[in-house]
Amino acid sequence: MQGSLLYEEVAFLAHCKEHEIEYHFFFRKLLQRWRHEIREYGQTDPKNRYNDDGIEHFANMAYHKNTRIGCSYHRKGQAATFVCVYEKGPQWDETIYEIGQRCKRNEDCTTYQNSKCDMLCVAPKQEINEPK
């Protein structure tokens, strides 16, 4: 799977239609819900592999090879669709992330060349060439 799409439709309460809706609030709640899948379903694989559909959203958010994400929403009436697109998603039975100690120095970060250690490894920003 090259790339991954997560979405959620949210119905707003009737009294919200006349007010400006705080979309950051909804995004935050939605991402929390996706992250909490791991608490609800648990990770039973000792090698931390993606092999349970119940943790799909969490697996995409936590996937160690993913360095880009884009999120947006579309509102129609009293409902909205929230979407997050990930550059990469784990394949079935692929490791979600490496289990171990946090990095302590840049040399500990080996997945992407020139990564920096900031308690977690941070991959270097990639240049995106815009179409001409």
pTM over cut 0.75:
no
Q: Is 125 exposed, middle or buried (0-12, 13-18, 19+ CB in 10 A)?
A: exposed
Residues 34, 58 contacting (CB under 8 angstroms):
yes
Residue with tokens 């920003």: 125
Listed residue (15, 1, 8) closest to 81, CA to CA: 8
Q: Is 121 a residue whose pLDDT tops 90?
A: no
Say how far apart CA 99 and CA 110 lie, in whole Å.
Answer: 14
Helix (H, G, I), strand (E, B) or coil at 33: helix
Q: Is 116 a residue whose pLDDT tops 90?
A: yes
**What is the average pLDDT value for the chain, to the nearest integer?**
77
Under CATH, which architecture does the 4-99 domain have? 3-Layer(aba) Sandwich (3.40)
Residues 124, 114 contacting (CB under 8 angstroms):
yes
Is residue 29 left, alpha or beta, with left meaning phi > 0 and alpha meaning psi from -120 to 50? alpha
pLDDT digits (tens, 9 = 90+) for 17-36: 444 566 677 777 777 877 78
Write down the pLDDT at residue 117: 94
**Segments making up each domain of the chain, as ranges:** 4-99, 101-132
Instruction: Pick from 3-7, 45-49, 74-78, 103-107 the range whose average pLDDT is largest.
Output: 103-107
